[in-house]
Structure 1
């Protein structure tokens, strides 16, 4: 019974880590595109700053939706292999973003395709930021459910 509870707790930590990673990747994308449009922290505009409160969680929904399957595979590989280093998660985030870009290029209509090099690099960078954020929250304990034996104490 204790083993089952340990699995459920680890699954919950993984899901919350995925939410944190999606929010971090979304925030990175929002900040990059605001900077590309000329917004600087030196002259903050209240409308641009307030719009981040809505746009970061909204874009995070799309990030989480499109990256779910490749990220689930990367998380499963990390859990099975017990990878706990930040570089693995940063590179896995870049691979997940690259898979997203490949799927969008292959299957989407012409208006949704990401064709500019700067935009592609921004998406790959946001994948890396998301991977590192996932590592900070959940990845440092990857494979911990396999390492220590939890005896079932049923009396």
Structure 2
């Protein structure tokens, strides 16, 4: 029973890591696509964040989570069962997943103009930040719930 509880806790940590990664990637996309410019971000009032920034972050975060969910599940399962714990693996996988999304939309004809290479570069940067965030929350302990090879 203890092993099932450990597995359930690990699933909760993985879910939290994915949600945090989507929020960080959404924030990066909101700032890097100039929805909110650096000058506007510097002029945000002391009362709190501007409504435009909050809406843009959550809109981009939900879009990021939607688009990256299934490729991320494959990467997360691979990393859990192979016990991949290095930050570079997660950063590169986040960048690859983020690069494939605008290219896939262009290939299937959903978006006729992806904004050129700039949007792909911004997407890759946001995906890498999301991958590093996932590593910080959940990836550092990937595969800890698995039994050791010598105790099997």
- Give me the whole-angstrom Cα distance separating, in 2, the residues matched to 1:141 and 1:13: 10
Q: Could you give the per-residue CA deviations for residues 39-58 of structure 1, whole angstroms, max 9, x where no partner exists?
A: 42685155x83311222112
| Contact map agreement 2:67 2:101 (CA 8 A) in 1 | yes
| Contact map agreement 1:70 1:99 (CA 8 A) in 2 | no
> How many equivalent residue pairs?
147
**TM-score for the superposition, normalised by structure 1:** 0.84
RMSD of aligned alpha carbons: 2.4
- Give me the whole-angstrom Cα distance separating, in 2, the residues matched to 1:107 and 1:29: 23
4+ long deviations beyond 4 Å:
none
Gap runs ≥5 in structure 1: 150-155
| 1:124 corresponds to 2:124 | yes
Q: Could you give the per-residue CA deviations for residues 44-93 of structure 1, whole angstroms, max 9, x where no partner exists?
A: 155x8331122211221110001101111111111111011110100010
Equivalent residue number for residue 67 of structure 2: 66
Secondary structure, aligned partner of 1:34 = coil
- Give me the whole-angstrom Cα distance separating, in 2, the residues matched to 1:129 and 1:53: 19
How big is the shift at 1:14?
0.4
| Contact map agreement 1:27 1:56 (CA 8 A) in 2 | yes
- Give me the whole-angstrom Cα distance separating, in 2, the residues matched to 1:96 and 1:30: 18
Secondary structure, aligned partner of 2:43 = coil
Secondary structure, aligned partner of 2:110 = coil
